[in-house]
């Protein structure tokens, strides 16, 4: 395929102050056969005005507004997928950027490696404001890594073959968080290794770190999602006779304990612990210890600290 169409899908919500950089990175592409589908999650800023300014001067830009619930980037991405006419799909967040050679370079790799379900390329990650560093992708078992919450690439690093992505079903619109590991785990399981990670390729995109302004809200979203994510992924593993890998999901419990336990209620914490026990990722003794820790960390900080040290050695 010598001149395929790339569909670049961007969900956005109140990011008009950032979106221009993303859009301009597309206009600068050396490969010109692309369309950009921007799906607005019902913004209250001037996103529509901004995008319409671009679309009037460049017909490759299309603008849609999400009309049905649920709210969220995943739903907007799926709307974009429905509208896309491209042979290959790339998803960007509204503050990500593609380097000007990105599409041309990716097409070269695609032409040299045809018939894969998806292609993964390295990115540059913002380490501090406007300072970017390459995020190396090691040679690894990527399915096991994503199950262990080791995320080596962002959503903009992947170029999807459109029929495979539609067969995959796009994104799970019920997830407020964990969208990247969820879709990549499903993709790797469905693909049966018919994908390739180009570890040594030059980084061709920029990932901008998002500021988390409200950790309590972020914690609630992680809580709501983890209750769905764990049983969903275990079911997918069972369908592929890979149940022996489910123990790796304990890393998502580690993340909860490290980042979110302080923002959750005792009841929420116990729900999370029970989730991992119910799905046989932790045993009964560990479950009891976590419940005890969840209580004493609030009423007796010294005892809670001692239990935390025990957990750090055993979980």
pLDDT at position 245: 98
Per-residue model confidence (pLDDT) at position 102: 99
Coil, helix or strand at residue 128: strand
User: Phi/psi class of residue 14: alpha, beta or left (left: φ > 0; alpha: ψ in -120 to 50)?
Assistant: left
pLDDT at 214: 80
| Residue 215, pLDDT score | 82
Give the C-alpha separation, 76 to 10, whole Å. 8
Return the CA Rg of the chain: 21
> For residue 114, what pLDDT is reported?
95
How many C-alpha atoms does 140 have within 13 Å on its Cβ side? 15
Query: What residue ranges of the chain have pLDDT lower than 70?
Result: 1, 211-213, 296-315
- Do 95 and 12 meet the contact criterion of CB atoms below 8 Å apart? no
Helices 284-299 and 266-278: crossing angle in degrees, nearest 10, is: 170
User: 41-96: per-residue pLDDT in tens?
Assistant: 999 999 999 999 999 999 999 999 999 989 999 999 999 999 999 999 999 999 99
pLDDT computed for residue 291 by the predictor: 87
The pLDDT tens digits for 9-32 are: 999 999 999 999 999 999 999 999
pLDDT at 293: 79
Residue 197 to residue 152: CA distance in whole angstroms: 10
Q: Which of 85, 110, 99 is nearest to 2 (CA)?
A: 110
Report pTM.
0.92
DSSP, res 265: -
35 φ, ψ (degrees, to nearest 5): -130, 150
In the chain, residues under CATH classification 3.90.550.10 are: 6-207
* Structural class in CATH, domain 6-207: alpha beta
With b meaning 16 or more CB within 10 Å and e meaning fewer, what string describes 126-140? eeeeeebeebebeee
Q: Give pLDDT, residue 176.
A: 94
């Amino acid at each position: 395929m010598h001149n395929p169409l790339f569909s670049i899908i961007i969900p956005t919500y109140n990011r008009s102050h950032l979106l221009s950089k993303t859009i301009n990175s597309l206009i600068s592409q050396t490969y010109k056969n692309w369309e950009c589908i921007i799906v607005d999650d019902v913004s209250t800023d001037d996103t529509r005005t901004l995008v319409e300014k671009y679309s009037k001067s460049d017909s490759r830009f299309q603008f849609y507004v999400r009309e049905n619930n649920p709210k969220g980037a995943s739903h907007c991405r799926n709307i974009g997928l429905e509208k896309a006419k491209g042979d290959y799909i790339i998803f960007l967040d509204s503050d990500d950027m593609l380097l000007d050679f990105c599409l041309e370079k990716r097409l070269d790799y695609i032409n040299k490696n045809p018939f894969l379900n998806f292609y993964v390329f390295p990115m540059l990650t913002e380490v501090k404001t406007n300072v970017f560093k390459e995020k190396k992708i090691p040679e690894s078992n990527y399915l096991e890594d994503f199950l262990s919450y080791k995320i080596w690439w962002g959503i903009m690093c992947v170029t999807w073959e459109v029929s495979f992505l539609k067969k995959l079903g796009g994104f799970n619109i019920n997830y407020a968080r964990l969208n990247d590991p969820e879709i990549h785990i499903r993709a790797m399981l469905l693909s049966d290794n018919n994908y390739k990670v180009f570890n040594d390729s030059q980084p061709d995109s920029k990932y901008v770190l998002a500021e988390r302004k409200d950790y309590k809200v972020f914690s609630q979203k992680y809580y709501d999602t983890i209750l769905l994510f764990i049983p969903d992924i275990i079911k997918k593993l069972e369908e592929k006779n890979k149940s022996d890998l489910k123990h790796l999901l304990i890393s998502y419990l580690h993340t909860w304990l490290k980042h979110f336990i302080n923002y959750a209620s005792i009841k929420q914490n116990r729900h999370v612990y029970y989730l991992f026990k119910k799905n046989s990722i932790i045993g009964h003794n560990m479950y009891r210890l976590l419940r005890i820790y969840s209580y004493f960390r609030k009423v007796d900080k010294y005892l809670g600290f001692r239990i935390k040290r025990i957990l750090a050695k055993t979980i």
